[in-house]
Amino acid sequence: MNTVIDPDVIKRANTWLDGDFDDETKSAVREMILKNPAELTDSFYRDLEFGTGGLRGIMGTGTNRMNRYTVGMATQGLANYLIRMFPEEKSLKAAISYDSRNNSRIFARITAEVFAANGFRVFLFDDIRPTPELSFTVRHLKCQTGVMLTASHNPKEYNGYKAYWDDGAQMIAPHDVNVMEEVQKITSVDDVRWTGNPQNIIEIGKDVDEAYLDQVLGLSLSPELIRRQKNMKIVYTPLHGCGRMMVPEILKRFGFENVVTVKEQMVADGNFPTVRSPNPEEQDAMTLALSLANEIDADLVMATDPDADRVGIALKNSSGKFILLNGNQTAALLFYYILYSWKEKNLLKGNEYIVSTIVTTELLKKIAEKFSVGYFECLTGFKFIADVIRKQEGKMKYIVGGEESFGYLIGDFVRDKDAVSACALLAEAAAWMADQEKSLFDLMIRISRELGFYKEHLISVTKKGKTGAEDIQKMMVDYRQNPPVQINNSKVILIRDYLLRSEKDLVTGQAKSIDLPKSNVLQFILEDGSRISVRPSGTEPKIKYYFSVIGKLGENEDYNIMDGILAKKISDIISSMKLN
């Protein structure tokens, strides 16, 4: 059966056949035209765009794929924009790092060469380094931009390109959109300055490592109790990624002397051979670490994703069984320990604050209120947390920020999520509890009794390719045009539409504006306090559903029983919405 291919797709593909592309690329395009029209469409129906995480996609041939040409074009567009935005700078500077993914080093070198050819002084790391260190380096070396080649926790087929502004944060509007406009002006690979000025590329490594590690070490709040708990058993895995360069070292510098690594996963390998996906949010990725933890009777298990900006942890429950925490639970433990310690050490002066996102647990707000610390809420994506930090500089003191997707940032010398510092402070929190002959699970119970038992759950529905993206948009339109009246027999009493920047109280009929940038997110608040958020992913072909329910845990009530009650409530909500 013949398949009709969109003329625009054919036109884009022919541009690659006629242009100055290598023979291997042209052969791949011809193969798709003749034998795989569906793949051709997915590869050429659009250009990769900067989303909440920058440029990200499947590696391969085409305008909608990560390859040397899309990387080069993006870099040329970024360079053009930076030259226009910093006319007073005689010598623009860029920092570049990369993770262990296949082609990351190649893409990093291409990025460096294009910047150098455009007159930039380029600082290129000599080996894989974590995303947070790249963010730090932009600030440390006073660069105008930085690029991290990574696809974070995505499967091995993906790679990505995170672009940073001069404050070390990922780009937000208008810069992200403006860069894409510059990229779109590049209609031919001939517009890219591929080579020239190789002397502008400067290799960096150990000196920057030391500067970064010194800053992270300065975050320690309780070195004295670590000395007492230095033999606490910690299992760590980098899942074949960048964390191997920094996490064991910072744990050692903090004073932990009994850190055991998962040897098979300490090998940097873009094929991620021991896991289905290098995502610390998933049980499968933690299998080897949990096996080792049980073998040595560890106290804490930690795993970082390939670019070491996210961390997942496991700890023992009251029965001595290891359980994986979600990002909200980990954030609650981390934030509570840090704010408690700040208060105990009289560091809180009245102008401090924390930051979280609209889809992250409201428990963090409760923790801020408990310690009389300011609280800011922003859109999903760590670049928006960084934007809050930027806007509050000189006004208030930032302590910690985080989001439900396993990303946290302590201190402001980095402007992206940082699993290196998070691992160090989480280990310190565990030592703090151990010093009281208690565990982090005991701290979870304590928080739940003091502030309410919050339970969250995330469902991601994947819709692949062009038709998948269209399906996701249609789903969002349907929710707006026909919002649910009740969910799981509980009335919807409030709807927040972040695209329209409006909030409507369905009980009083009153509406008010939302003081945040536009974002395609809907929230339904129920009469029983439950909250459901719906948003398309900015970096993956998914629509995400975030569920949050609340219970009360008294002194005589069992944590596990209440956890089961709330889990069933979430399950009932999912069934009510016909998502399973």
Active site residues: 152
Helix (H) / strand (E) containing 377: strand 374-378
49 in helix, strand or coil?
Answer: coil
First to last CA, the chain: 34
Q: Compute the Cα dihedral for 444, 368, 363, 528 and give only its sign.
A: positive
Alpha helix stretches (DSSP H) within 186-264: 206-217, 223-228, 243-254
**Gap between the Cα atoms of 98 and 245, Å rounded:** 12
| 334 neighbors 408 (Cβ within 8 angstroms) | yes
**Gap between the Cα atoms of 454 and 446, Å rounded:** 12
How many C-beta neighbours within 10 Å does residue 298 have?
A: 24
CA dihedral 344, 312, 102, 206 (to 10 degrees): 20
| 539 neighbors 531 (Cβ within 8 angstroms) | no
Prior bond of 248 cis (ω within 30°): no
**Gap between the Cα atoms of 520 and 517, Å rounded:** 10
**Gap between the Cα atoms of 310 and 243, Å rounded:** 10
**Gap between the Cα atoms of 99 and 305, Å rounded:** 10
Q: Tell me how far the alpha carbon of residue 102 is from its chain's centroid.
A: 20
